[in-house]
Amino acid sequence: MTSRRPLIAGNWKMNGLTADGSSLASGLAEKMTAAGDVFFEMLVCPPFTLISKIADCLGGSGIALGAQDCHANEKGAHTGDISAAMLKDAGCAYVIVGHSERRTDHGESNETVRDKAAAVHAAGLGAVICIGETEAERDAGQTLDVNKAQIAGSLPEGATAANTVIAYEPVWAIGTGRTPTNDEVQDVHAFIRGELAGHLGESEAAAMRILYGGSMKPGNAKELLALADVDGGLIGGASLTVEDFWGIAESV
Ligand code: PGA
């Protein structure tokens, strides 16, 4: 038996203005408050512009707040960037780092992701480190090798089950409506846990949460979340409505 508490995390990406972001967060806060004690942990990661506003909307609901990225430095001459310390100051408990859209659109390497994760830890926040293979890599039979290399390269020193969550997101499953089979998801998650054990030791690896991400919806969440090494979800599209996101959380 493990004591890993499932994490249901919403990645809003570049979506949300004040009105719709506030109503989404307030709707979730209402559901959470009405639900009382729940087994899962819920996290929402709005765009930077809404973080302070959403912190107010979430209030004392117990839903955690996170950001989608940060800079690796604490402060300084980095126009347009945001540090982990600033995110903590704004009310965040988590920061997503190394999402495939950052790796692709902003050329982020494993080393960049590792430095950002280290900055998240230094600020006292939890890092959600994303990994996952592309479709071409999958077709070439490189799924495990790619994930192995991303773990080795992106995991900072000092990572523990308390300050780090891994999100396995096959790039080809993000926003496409396609997902690997349940067996494939479980196999990759078990492999990732084995790799984590090699880096961090058995007990940290056994306690670390590994989320699945990529076209998770209310309709497929239950079976994905029931897999032995799946400890929650990182959800994009379906985190943008109360009905879908709460529906996923309820299926834990
Ligand atoms: P999706 O995105 O749920 O829309 O596929 C997941 C993600 O990119 O984190």
Ligand 1 centroid to Cα of residue 100, in Å, is 10
pTM given for the model: 0.98
Tell me, yes or no, whether 193 and 84 share the same domain: yes
Ligand 1 centroid vs 77 CA: distance in angstroms? Answer: 32
In a domain, 246, yes or no: no
Residue ranges making up the domain that contains 106: 65-236
Residue bearing the CA closest to ligand 1, atom 3 = 236
Is residue 251 in some structural domain?
Answer: no
Tell me the C-alpha to C-alpha distance, in Å, between residue 83 and each of 20, 46, 155, 249: 26, 16, 19, 30
Mean pLDDT (the chain) is 97
With the most atoms of ligand 1 within 8 angstroms of its CB, the residue from 8, 133, 174, 224 to mutate is 174
pLDDT at 2: 61
pLDDT in tens, 138-162: 999 999 999 999 999 999 999 999 9
Residues 199 and 159 in one domain: yes
Whether 142 and 190 share a structural domain:
yes
Query: What spacing in Å lies between the alpha carbon of 43 and ligand 1's midpoint?
Result: 14
Asked if residue 8 belongs to a domain, the reply is no
146 and 22 both lie in a single domain: no
- 58 and 84 in a single domain? The answer is no
Q: Is residue 93 located within the same domain as residue 161?
A: yes
Q: Closest residue (by CA) to atom 2 of ligand 1?
A: 236
Work out how many domains the chain is built from and give that number.
2
Tens digits of per-residue pLDDT, 68-122? 999 999 999 999 999 999 999 999 999 999 999 999 999 999 999 999 999 999 9
